[in-house]
Amino acid sequence: MSWSGTKVHFTETCDDDLPHIILHVLTTPATTNEGDTPECIHADLAQADRLPSEHLLDAGYVEGQLIVDAREQYGIEIVGRAPGTPSWQAKAQNGFDMNSFAIDWEQQRVTCPAGQTSVKWSPTHNCDGQPIINIRFPDRACRVCEQHAQCTKSAGARHLTLRPRAPHEALQAARRRQTTPEFQARYNRRAGIEGTFTQADRLCGLRRSRYIGMAKTHLQHVLTALALNLRRVFAWLEGEPLAQTRVAPFVQLMPAPG
């Protein structure tokens, strides 16, 4: 029902031939949405002249507007798993989801799989203040359509909600890209950040704040990142290789694919 406390966001390098250094630490209330933090992180990295060419992010951070803003404002390519289409058709893999509709952005018109065109194109905002476009098809045509059951569970017309063109197309492209082996190979490099949180927790007690208040808790997070950076630099100078991802004993018993 509730969640009190703070949340820490680490941003670290992932170069193969250099130690993985934490470049940025952000402390927020625990209830802060992950999607609201990348803009602040990128602004801070730009001010420190530490912007990356690509930013590997967890799925909770990725959304269409971020992909567009990061590319246009900072020249950063966002690499992360984009959220799937939330419609029941997409989840059930049965029926007509968003990808089944043809969008004509210039004419502000959408065509359904049965060939019917929309009668409403209404730009507005959602409850979070983000711009959206409400699409509606003619009620009379939808009711008598033979494919009505595959399109909507409503007795009336089908409704669609779109993002503006740039974030919509960016999100669709990200969803297609993440199904490729090339994406998986790139995204595997992000696995190291999970080890960072584990290391910070086991060595420095990251999950328990020693102080009261956001400012003091953030200072603890910064000092934790500093301690990890020093440890990693010393290990790199000594030639100590990076630890591999731990494989659970039960998983080790599984037969190899093929």
pLDDT tens-digit series, residues 175-222: 999 999 999 999 988 988 988 999 999 999 999 988 888 999 999 999
What is the overall mean pLDDT for the chain? 90
Task: State residue 8's pLDDT score.
Answer: 95
Q: Which residues pair with 131 in a beta bridge?
A: 125
Q: Are 43 and 49 in contact (CB under 8 A)?
A: no
In sequence order, what are the residues at sequence separation of 6 or more whose Cβ sits closer than 8 angstroms to the Cβ of residue 199?
228
Pairing of strands 77-80, 54-57: parallel
Q: What is the pLDDT of residue 240?
A: 84
Q: Is the pLDDT of residue 257 over 70?
A: no
Query: How far apart are alpha carbons 191 and 232 in whole angstroms?
Result: 17
Average pLDDT of span 84-99: 81
At 51, is the pLDDT very low, low, confident or very high (cuts 50, 70, 90)? very high
- What is residue 85's predicted lDDT score, i.e. its pLDDT? 80
pLDDT of residue 258: 59
pLDDT at 3 over 80: no
Strands (E), 168-257: none
- Report residue 248's pLDDT band, with 50, 70 and 90 as the boundaries: confident
Report the b/e string of 171-194 with b at 16+ CB within 10 A: bbebbeebeeeebeebeeebebbe
Q: 17-42: per-residue pLDDT in tens?
A: 899 999 999 999 988 989 899 999 99
CA dihedral 249, 251, 253, 254 (to 10 degrees): 180
Q: Tens digits of per-residue pLDDT, 100-159?
A: 899 999 999 999 999 999 999 999 998 878 899 999 999 988 988 988 888 888 888 899
The larger pLDDT score, comparing residue 89 to residue 167, is at 167
Query: If we measure between CA atoms, which residue out of 58, 47, 49 comes closest to residue 9?
Result: 58
pLDDT score of 218? 96
Number of H helices, E strands in the chain: 10, 9
Which domains can be identified in the chain, with CATH numbers?
6-82+178-252 (3.30.420), 88-164 (no CATH)
The answer to whether residues 153 and 88 touch, using CB atoms and an 8 Å cutoff, is yes
pLDDT score, position 120: 93
